[in-house]
Each structure stands twice: as structure tokens, then as C-alpha cells.
Chain A
């Protein structure tokens, strides 16, 4: 589904990603972990097409298409979704209208008819229920006046509504208490099926108790320095990032 080859990216003149290689297949959940500044959020933003991040080398293939040739909205319509670390507030635009616009733009792109108001409303109600969202949030302006937890929940609500092929969660767990974390994780698990994939970007192992990854990758200084199964996350939690980063230093010094 997703193949990343030797990806290098620069932010404000500084090289943040320095040769990432990653392959994600349908049905898989990958966790990207790493200390602050290791390039986790950069990778998430590059995948979604944020122009603030410049790709200087490497390739990204999504479903056989060159992702780097696509505008952010094309990527979304092809099936890439980024749950933002800091969701943006849009005053005067209701959640419902925003989502209806996004869904119908995607359907237009895929040569599907627009959803009828009833279909859309039923879908909203069903997805909101999964996340225990108050229906009043749906008619409110996008993220305006939402608490940090409500914003994150709203990201997962958008994920469920847009039904992408690949979901990238950028620090979705930050700022969530344990109850909110469980609700958000449950939403992701409802979304996850054999034909789609999830990349969970996180600093802590906590979220991975609820969204269980098939693979864990440790990012350090813009490279994946270690990959393993879900037990790697637990090991990291126990031993700290120093454990892998010192390994990395050793391999570098050889």
C-alpha cells in the first residue's frame, strides 16, 4: 500500500529526515516511536503533503502512484488521512458542512454520486455514537471552543467519516486522559480492517496498549534505527530511548 524509499526532507533549511525506508501493507498497524525532534511529525506531514516540508531525496509510492506528485487534497482523495497533532479551528464553518464538503469532493473524484442529506446524517450519527460524541458538537464550528480532548476526538470522527485507506495518527494521544485515550483508540480499532492500514506516531507506549501494532519502528535523528514487533514498544518504555540511541551511536562508531 505504502512504500517509502530513502526519504530525505528539509524543514526551514534543516535536514530532518535522513533516509527513511518503510513499507506498509493492507491490514497492518505500524507504530513510529522516537524522542522529541527525531522527525516523527515531519514524516507524518510529508506524507500528507504539507508544503512547509520539502522533500529533497527519495520516493513515496501509495497504491502504485507517486504520492510526491500529488497535492494534499489529491492525496486525501486517494485515501491518505492525517489526524493532526494540533487540529485547526475554523470559525463559522460547522463540522457537518465541513465534512459533507470533504466527503462529496472525494466522491466526485471517485466518480460516485453525492451523499443524500439523509445518508450523510445517518452516517454522522452512527460515527458520533462510536466516539460518544455529543451531537451538538456536529453543528458547532470546526474545533472552535473544543477542549484538547474534543479536538483529538474530532480528528478520529473525521477519520471514521472519510474512511481513508491509510490513517496516520500524529501524536493523537498527547493531552488525552485515560478515558479519552480509550475512546479514541476504540474509534481507530473500529476503523481498522484488513483492507486499510494505520501508522501511529507517538512518543509514548501508552496508546499502543489500546491500538496494538504489528510493527514498531524507532526513529532517531531522521532515520529508522530499530524495527520490531509490539514488544519493542514495551522494551522502549522500560529502558527509555537512551537504550536504542546509544546502540545507534555504537553502530555509527564502528
Chain B
């Protein structure tokens, strides 16, 4: 099934300032998100996945970050060149975002109702308590009237994340970015929240960019999967295909280190070493010091992301010297 492109990121470079020195956080990332699809962006902490997500809404801290190059096209227009008015109608309107920590993401001095209603007021110009309550109902919060006048500290973590979701879907966005939406929650609540997101995506016909470091979460839900390492995209493709036959040694390592119910007795394999510090990214392929299949070109040249697979509309791509196919 082919779908129309919704977000297109082209050769994006982002730097952060650390102790007065600019370090690369995102390098040469190109990436596409289509309508009504769920894409997972996977990688270890600090690989640049959250930065990438925040840059789509231009929410990066102004003084400490800089987009050095590339374009972010949403529905054909470049987000990086948008004026403040255009950006405001985009944020919370056509693109909304939910964050990792529901405990700190809601304003402690405003009621839940006020915070959800704000989105409607901002994008549709009217206050509508009845709509807010139906939104709260839609994200399966019990007793919406009570929740409406509650303060965030009176709710549980899962309930707060549901409030964040209600806020995010208030103006029927085309894209929902979920930045590790379940990391701060209990395991049982994690599944409920992801089920809710999957259901809402279907009902509202939106695209979802799910950022996570948990491969197990994405396996059954997302259509496509992209893996990041040290600021670069190292592999992408249909989720099922990537999980079944990962090409990049890093992806292989991630999948092997997933605990499985049937495999008992043996030690869980793990990737040796640590992801590199941003100020000291190794030459060539950033993964080469940890890679079991390292060979001559790895430390010299950065492998480009190459299209894999036989059919021309194949989604699979990998950035590794082991795969010397034609450059995409």
C-alpha cells in the first residue's frame, strides 16, 4: 500500500552547545513519514531521536541548539522557514506532541480543564467545556467532570498521560509525535496507553511518530521502523521485515538483546561498550568500535544510507559497509 507523504526530512544536521562547544547531535538524517502510518524511531538514549522529534515542531532550546542544514517539509512547506504565525498554527494544530514525563509536562497551577481548553481556544478561537469533557472521555478517563476541574497532582501518571493525549488530539492533528510516551509509567499502564494511541490513530486518521528505546513496544504496532545511532539513521524499513532480518550489526545487537520468553538458561546477549559521547564521535562509522563485524573501511569512511531489496519501491535501507549496493 502506498500512501502520500506527510513529513519529509532531508539531510538534517543539528548541533547542541555543550560547555560552550558545538557538538553534532543529528547528522544527515533523511526520513519520510506518510499519511495514516505509525513509524517508530528507535535508538539508545542520546542518539538524537528526541532532538529530531523536537526539531519538527521547532521546539529545540533556542540558544543551546542550531539547525546547521537540511529541510523539514510538512505538507510541502518547510517548517524551518515558517514565520511565527505559521509555526503557532502548526504546533498543537496540525502537529501535536506528547512527552516522556507526564509528571512534569502538565502545568501544576492550572486545572486539567483549563489546559485542554487552551488548545481549543488557541486553534479554534472558542472555549468549549463540553468538548473538553468529551475529549477526556475519549481518552478513557473516568468521571470527566471531576477530572476537568482537577489539578495535575491529583491524578496518577497514566491519567496525566491520558490528559496529554486529550490535549494532543484536541484539534485533530495530522501528525502526533509521541516522545517515549510510556517510559515513565508502570508496565501495565504502558500497554493501555499504547493501545489508546493505536486506536486513536485509526479513528482520527493521523500519522504517529513513536519515539522509543524499547524495541519490544514497537514490534506489533508500527508500520515502519527507523533505527538511529549517534545522530545518524543506520537502518530503516517495514517493521516486520527489519525485526525478522536486521541488516545493520547495531540493529542485530538490539534485537538479540531483547529478552524472550522461550529462550531460557543462557545469558542475554548484550552490545559491548557504550554509545559514544557527542564530542568524541569515532571516525568513519560511529558504531565501528562496538561492532563485531568491523573491517578496513569502517574506521575511515562514513557509510551512506543505501536502499536495499529488489523492488524499486522497497523501503528498506541500511548504512553499513557490509552492504555495498548502489547508493540511493
Say whether A and B bind each other: no
B residues contacting A by CB (< 8 A) are none
